[in-house]
Amino acid sequence: MNVPSRRILLSGAGSIVVSSSLASGFGALARPRHPVPAHPASKPTPDSDDDSSATDGTAQAGAGSPAETPVGPLDTEARWAFAVDFQTGTVLLQKAADERMPPSSLTKMMTAYIVFGMLKEGRLHLDQMLPVSEKAWRMQGSKMFVPLGSQIAVSDLIRGMLIQSGNDACIVLAEGIAGSEEQFVALMNAKAKTIGLTNSQFRNVTGWPDPDHFMSARDVATLAHRLIADFPDDYHFFSEKDYKFNNINQGNRNVLVDKGLADGLKTGHTDAGGFGLCASSDRGGRRITLVVNGLPSSKARASEGARLLNWAFANFENARVLSRGQVLQTVPVWLGLLPSVTACAAADLVLTVPHGWQNRVKVALDYQSPVTAPIAKGQQVGLITISGAGVTDIQVPLVAVDAVARMGLPARAVAVLKHYLGRS
């Protein structure tokens, strides 16, 4: 029997959440085929968010070019920038997102990932006391001010690392967990490969300047996603606005957290990398993560971070295109005990689109008609294709809602005979 294919266009997809397999989504901006060479490092200086500016100007090279977005270029003075929707994985903004950059204290997000993993596995405990070595005590840059020879609780060290950006806290954690900073760094590099960081290399646990220590803005955002998704019980450490250690109150250096504009993650600064931050914010159940780096001052970092994060929320929305089990079509069946089978979407699908664009999304159904029995429940009978309004084509299986058994041999013979007699 000759089985023709059919395409049905469902218009007006305004009512029509994205799974990880479909995360490229709307306006996905492609990675370069070859990595951009590492940004040259300037003279190493301690990481400190208290510096008022980058002293050598290196980080501002190329900062005048705009970022790419699905709605057109957007000016930003950041040298590196990347913004992504947490649920769909849709890229909202990027600028040199795959270029290697000095990550400064954004490195501590990776240090935290290893620490949180140890806590989750029960190999480390929040009330566990770790010793302060001379190396940790002498560590320069931003500090928690751990006393030499003392024992510090892991929970305090995590707060010192993430809220005050303490380099000394990082060393205590690394030595307490792995025996040395070098061995802890080996854990960082191994784990980076398994969680999807494709353009990162670590040489220390603090972000101390090193020409062979780098991350990309995209990798920083990927790491933020993994921290939030993999360690929901520990993410609160990034959100805390202050903490007290040694009778000294210290505030969170991430101004966006302090102002309630974000619930994490980290800031950083070196001469080579300029001022940067990774911020994530959940507003009304929708989360966006932003990375900027290479800004000229802490003030510019705060203002540009807030501006770009607000821009992303203001200009895009998540539109539900499909719901798993949503009935879309009745498909004729050949040689089945039933003449047709109801077909539905196999998965939920949410697209991140510019505000008001959801009604410009097109949904088309492609299937063979009729479908030959037997048909199993959940069997794919066609494809749903989502396109239009700048959306890169996405396909979701069209599946049978119920099973349809095949006719017995006598009934099949009669059906085939009627079919061919009807054609003569």
DSSP character at residue 34 = S
Strands 286-295 and 5-10: unpaired
H/E run at residue 399:
strand 391-400
Count the alpha carbons within 13 Å of 407 in the hemisphere toward its beta carbon.
16
Q: How far is Cα 268 from Cα 270, in angstroms, rounded to an integer?
A: 7
Q: Which of 48, 105, 200, 216 is catalytic?
A: 105
Neighbours of 234 (CB within 10 A): 20
Decide which of 415 and 120 is more confident.
120
Q: Which of 53, 108, 142, 281 is catalytic?
A: 108
Entry pTM = 0.77
- pLDDT winner (highest mean) among 5-9, 129-133, 342-346: 129-133
pLDDT digits 0-9 by tens, 195-254: 999 999 999 999 999 999 999 999 999 999 999 999 999 999 999 988 888 777 888 888
pLDDT digits 0-9 by tens, 58-116: 444 445 689 998 888 999 999 999 999 998 888 999 999 999 999 999 999 999 999 99
pLDDT digits 0-9 by tens, 306-355: 999 999 999 988 888 888 888 888 898 877 888 889 898 988 888 888 88
Q: pLDDT-based confidence at 7, cuts 50/70/90?
A: low
266 is in an annotated binding site: yes
Q: For residue 26, give every residue at least 6 positions away whose Cβ sits within 8 Å of its Cβ, in sequence order, or none.
A: 70, 88, 90, 351, 352, 353, 390, 391, 392
- How buried is 191 (Cβ within 10 angstroms: 0-12 exposed, 13-18 middle, 19+ buried)? middle
Q: Which residue has the tokens 């990776």?
A: 110
Q: How far is Cα 342 from Cα 261, in angstroms, rounded to an integer?
A: 46
pLDDT digits 0-9 by tens, 27-48: 232 232 223 333 333 333 444 4
191 is catalytic: no
Look at residues 384, 331, 333, 338 and name the one whose alpha carbon lies nearest to residue 361: 384
Q: How far is Cα 362 from Cα 30, in angstroms, rounded to an integer?
A: 23
SS3 assignment, position 199: coil
Biggest alpha carbon distance in the chain? 97
By residue count, the chain amounts to 424
Rounded mean pLDDT, 43-54: 39
108 is catalytic: yes
Q: Supply 316's token pair.
A: 């895009």
Q: How far is Cα 157 from Cα 166, in angstroms, rounded to an integer?
A: 8
The structural domains of the chain, ordered by start, are 5-19+323-423 (2.60.410.10), 31-315 (3.40.710.10)
Confirm if 245 and 251 have CB atoms less than 8 A apart: no
Q: For residue 299, give every residue at least 6 positions away whose Cβ sits within 8 Å of its Cβ, in sequence order, or none.
A: none
Distance separating the N- and C-terminal Cα atoms of the chain: 14
